[in-house]
């Protein structure tokens, strides 16, 4: 479960963010704060994974508040002022949403925040931890755990995500997943296929076997695949 708080002095902003996040499984609202001071008091005794932060608030501005936090959660800025974007990235915010923003744009921001949080929690004994992200398919948003993926297949402007017991058609191109997924765990072996390395059962000629699936190896990717066993 990914926990989050909203820090914004506008009630309508709270309603929109809560409505959007309520459509995503495994996101749990912990607190609605209407000022930075209220959020500061809450975070002194509680911890969350994610914070939606407005900038233009009375008494204590959003970025000034963020600078007071020793170990802040991942931050998604929500503001009507685009001129503060550079300052936000200097403070290592996960994403910067300009109001009014769409549901799809918020989903991308959440994916980005979750992905960056996962990469920062890598354990010494594990090269890359499992990533969690949301994909749109069948008019729903599915939470994906990278460890559950078998392989990904390009499907025109869409992609098919294959798991042991299901397949999801995603609205993203395969290039989006190539940049999102950790290269230590996934390899593009064909212009239309990305495979999970730990799910490979065998490699035979120009074919990779995963479960009962045969995945072709593209000519330009043969040298990369051969490094797996040479």
Q: Is 149 exposed, middle or buried (0-12, 13-18, 19+ CB in 10 A)?
A: buried
pLDDT at 117 (0 to 100):
59
Is there a contact between 48 and 3 (Cβ–Cβ < 8 Å)?
yes
104 and 180 housed in the same domain: no
Domain count, the chain: 2
103 and 41 housed in the same domain: yes
Q: Which pLDDT tens digit goes with each residue over 27-84?
A: 999 999 999 999 999 999 999 999 999 998 988 999 999 999 988 999 999 988 877 6
Domain that holds residue 110: 2-119
Q: What is the pTM of this model?
A: 0.58
26: CATH: 3.40.50.2300
99 and 186 housed in the same domain: no
In a domain, 124, yes or no: no
* Measured CA distances, 114 to 49, 74, 109, 199, 205 (Å): 9, 8, 9, 23, 38
In a domain, 195, yes or no: yes
Q: Which pLDDT tens digit goes with each residue over 184-194?
A: 789 999 999 99
Beta bridge partners of 218: none
Angstrom distance (rounded) from CA 217 to CA 225 = 8
């Amino acid at each position: 479960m990914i926990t989050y708080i909203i820090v914004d002095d506008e009630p309508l902003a709270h309603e929109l963010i809560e409505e959007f996040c309520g459509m995503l499984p495994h996101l749990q609202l912990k607190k609605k704060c209407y000022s930075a001071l209220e959020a500061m008091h809450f975070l002194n005794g509680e911890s969350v994974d994610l914070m939606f932060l407005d900038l233009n608030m009375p008494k204590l501005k959003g970025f000034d508040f963020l600078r007071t936090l020793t170990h802040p959660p991942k931050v998604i800025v929500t503001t009507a002022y685009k001129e503060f974007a550079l300052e936000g990235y200097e403070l290592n915010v996960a994403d910067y949403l300009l109001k009014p923003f769409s549901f799809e744009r918020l989903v991308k921001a959440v994916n980005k925040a979750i992905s960056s949080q996962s990469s920062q929690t890598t354990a010494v004994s594990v090269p890359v931890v499992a990533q969690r992200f949301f994909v749109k398919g069948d008019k729903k948003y599915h939470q994906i755990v990278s460890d559950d993926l078998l392989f990904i297949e390009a499907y025109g402007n869409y992609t098919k995500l294959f798991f042991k017991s299901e397949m999801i058609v995603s609205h993203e191109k395969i290039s989006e997943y190539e940049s999102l997924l950790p290269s230590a765990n996934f390899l593009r072996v064909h212009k239309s296929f990305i495979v999970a390395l730990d799910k490979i059962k065998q490699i035979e000629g120009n074919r990779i076997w995963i479960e009962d699936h045969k995945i072709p190896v593209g000519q330009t990717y043969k040298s990369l695949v051969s490094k797996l066993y040479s």
